[in-house]
């Protein structure tokens, strides 16, 4: 146990001491800080500029009343137009729309199209609404937005405003103001999983935007840290082999201690790195101005499910140990660092597969592929978490999945330790599986 601690400590200290490690960590931290603050900076710098100001004129002809209504309802429009996920502002109001914001400035006086066209040419206007006599039978005028630029946000805002105006004009006098308001509010449609119907409040248990983001982050975290630390483990072991310090090491510590010491040491290195990023992230989440930014996206940290977070971490750690023992085994059979890339390619493919199955099934978490994958130990760290977070995974399936994963860790850990024990004594070209088996027999391992 003492020796295991020594190996862990030595691995950790040496890895974190290297210049390469410090610089990459620092650079990534800096990028993260910048990335997290981009929305804020854009708001700060472009908030008052005219870049997102859209100036619109109106050629109302004989429909001045309709034009007035469009303008009015544009001003009342909530910060959620028909353009799906993108938020935008209206009228004089201002709201953040991710990284952009749109303000609309109306030209109060109606004018005739030729005059407005000239103003657009002169760059005094961005576009104008042309109200014309409708097709036979209709009373509401046909509306055209004339503009040089194709601005979808503005168009959808206008569309919504015009729709409201139409309802008003068609139902003139028959409805109260409150009724009109209700009509203009978009219908909200949400999905609830069948199982969640049993809940007293009928609320979806976990399917929230926050959990979606959490699952997404967990998968990416798993993939990135696994490729990074996995390769670190393999190359550390190969380096020890090629510098021949391995011969001294294997005579002082048992290979199992050595291998797991290395794996845990590098795991802690990765954890330190991830912890730093997480800390920066959390600090941002706490900052008051950032809360506002999140609120614009309708994200509330309180909606995060602890269940998903905890299970995600469990799967992350288990998955890490499964893969890293294999990385260690591969590192031990290679004698030179140059040959390593080729040797780990199979593992890279496995991690990539786990990553893509997870990411691409996030919209369809209960497919057969996902059900099967969540029992396969190499894929379950990503797929099971998608099912837990975004789909349905009964507790017994979860238990089976984790038990299979644990068994796989023991089996592959045992196998890797054997390969490691043999591999570290074999120098020269990369041995084939047959040669390794032969060597295992010869060494009586």
Partner 1 sequence: MNPLMLDNIIKQYAGHTAVDHLSLEVEEGEIYGLLGANGAGKTTTMRMVLGLIHPDGGSIRYHGQPYRTELQSMMGYLPEERGLYPKVKISDQMLYLAQLRGMKAADARQSLDYWLERFDAMEYREKRIEELSKGNQQKMGFVAAVIHRPKILILDEAFSGLDPVNVEMLKQVVLELRKEGTAILFSTHRMEHVEELCRHITVLRRSKPVLQGDLNTIKNSYPREKVVLRTSGQVQGLETIEGVTEVTRQDNGRYLIRIEQEQAAQHILQMAMSQGAVDQFEIKEPTLNEIFIKVVGSSHE
- Enumerate binding residues for partner 1 (CB under 8 A): 2-3, 6-7, 10, 13-14, 18, 240, 243-254, 425, 438, 442-444
Q: Closest separation between CB of residue 343 and partner 1, Å?
A: 21
Q: Which is nearer to partner 1, 146 or 249 (CB)?
A: 249
Closest residue by Cα to residue 163 from 92, 90, 73 = 73
Cα separation of the two ends of the chain = 22
The pair of three-digit structure tokens given for residue 166, joined into one six-digit string = 């139409």
Q: Which is nearer to partner 1, 49 or 251 (CB)?
A: 251
Angle of the 2-17 helix axis to the 255-286 helix axis, nearest 10: 50
Q: Which is nearer to partner 1, 67 or 233 (CB)?
A: 233
DSSP readout, 343-406?
A: HTHHHHHHHHHHHHHHHHTTTSTTSHHHHHHTTSTTTHHHHHHHHHHHS---HHHHHHHHHHHH
Q: Closest separation between CB of residue 259 and partner 1, Å?
A: 14
Look-up: residue for tokens 């601005």?
A: 151
Q: Which is nearer to partner 1, 8 or 408 (CB)?
A: 8
- How far apart are the C-alpha atoms of 177 and 344, rounded to whole Å? 68
- How far apart are the C-alpha atoms of 87 and 101, rounded to whole Å? 8
- Across-strand partners of 114? none
Q: Which is nearer to partner 1, 52 or 240 (CB)?
A: 240
CA distances for 155 relative to 68, 112, 209, angstroms: 17, 21, 27
**Distance of alpha carbon 21 from the chain centroid:** 25
Q: Which is nearer to partner 1, 37 or 337 (CB)?
A: 337
Q: Dihedral through CA 240, CA 245, CA 246, CA 251, nearest 10?
A: -160
Q: Which is nearer to partner 1, 353 or 425 (CB)?
A: 425
- Give the three-class secondary structure for 294: helix
Q: Which is nearer to partner 1, 360 or 427 (CB)?
A: 427
Q: Closest separation between CB of residue 252 and partner 1, Å?
A: 4
Confirm if 57 and 130 have CB atoms less than 8 A apart.
Answer: no
The pair of three-digit structure tokens given for residue 82, joined into one six-digit string = 């028909």
Q: Closest separation between CB of residue 270 and partner 1, Å?
A: 20
Confirm if 295 and 39 have CB atoms less than 8 A apart.
Answer: no
Q: Which is nearer to partner 1, 124 or 437 (CB)?
A: 437
Confirm if 71 and 17 have CB atoms less than 8 A apart.
Answer: no
Q: Which is nearer to partner 1, 253 or 299 (CB)?
A: 253
- How far apart are the C-alpha atoms of 443 and 250, rounded to whole Å? 14
Give 245's contacts (C-beta < 8 A, 6+ positions apart): none
Q: Which is nearer to partner 1, 210 or 240 (CB)?
A: 240
Confirm if 261 and 325 have CB atoms less than 8 A apart.
Answer: no
Three-state helix/strand/coil letters over 164-213: HHHHHHHCCCCCCHHHHHHHHCCCCCCCCCHHHHHCCCCCCCCCCHHHHH
The pair of three-digit structure tokens given for residue 329, joined into one six-digit string = 């085994």
Q: Closest separation between CB of residue 248 and partner 1, Å?
A: 6
């Amino acid at each position: 146990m003492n020796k295991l601690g020594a190996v862990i400590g030595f691995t950790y200290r040496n890895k974190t001491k290297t210049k390469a490690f410090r610089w990459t960590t620092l650079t990534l931290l800096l990028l993260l800080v910048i990335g997290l603050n981009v929305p804020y900076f854009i708001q700060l710098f472009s908030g008052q500029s005219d870049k997102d100001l859209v100036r619109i004129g109106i050629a109302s002809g004989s429909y001045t009343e309709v034009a007035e209504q469009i303008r009015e309802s544009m001003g009342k429009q909530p910060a959620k137009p028909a353009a799906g996920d993108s938020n935008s502002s209206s009228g004089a109001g201002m709201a953040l729309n991710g990284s952009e914001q749109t303000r609309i400035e109306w030209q109060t006086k109606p004018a005739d199209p030729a005059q407005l066209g000239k103003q657009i040419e002169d760059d005094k206007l961005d576009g104008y609404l042309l109200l014309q006599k409708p097709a036979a039978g209709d009373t509401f005028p046909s509306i055209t937005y004339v503009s040089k630029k194709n601005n979808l946000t503005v168009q959808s805002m206008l569309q919504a405003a015009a729709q409201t105006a139409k309802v008003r004009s068609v139902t003139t006098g028959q409805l109260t103001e409150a009724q009109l308001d209700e009509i203009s509010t978009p219908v909200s449609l949400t999905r609830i999983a069948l199982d969640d119907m049993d809940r007293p409040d009928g609320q979806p248990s976990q399917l929230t935007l926050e959990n979606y983001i959490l699952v997404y982050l967990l998968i990416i975290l798993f993939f990135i840290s696994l490729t990074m630390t996995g390769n670190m483990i393999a190359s550390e072991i190969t380096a020890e082999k090629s510098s021949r310090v391995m011969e001294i090491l294997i005579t002082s510590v048992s290979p199992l201690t050595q291998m797991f010491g290395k794996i845990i040491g590098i795991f802690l290195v990765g954890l330190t790195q991830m912890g730093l990023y997480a800390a920066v992230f959390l600090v941002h989440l706490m900052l008051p101005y950032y809360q506002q930014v999140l609120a614009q996206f309708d994200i509330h940290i309180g909606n995060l499910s602890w269940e998903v977070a905890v299970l995600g971490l469990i799967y992350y750690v288990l998955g890490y140990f499964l893969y890293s023992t294999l990385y260690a085994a591969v590192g031990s059979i290679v004698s030179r660092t140059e040959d390593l890339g080729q040797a780990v390619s199979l593992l890279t493919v496995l991690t990539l597969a786990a990553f893509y199955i997870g990411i691409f099934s996030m919209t369809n978490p209960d497919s057969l592929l996902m059900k099967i994958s969540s029992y396969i130990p190499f894929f379950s760290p990503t797929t099971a978490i998608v099912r837990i977070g975004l789909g349905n995974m009964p507790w017994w399936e979860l238990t089976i999945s984790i038990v299979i994963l644990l068994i796989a860790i023991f089996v592959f850990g045992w196998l890797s330790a054997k390969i490691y024990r043999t591999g570290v004594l074999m120098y020269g070209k990369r041995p084939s599986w047959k040669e390794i088996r032969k060597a295992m027999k010869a060494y009586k391992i």
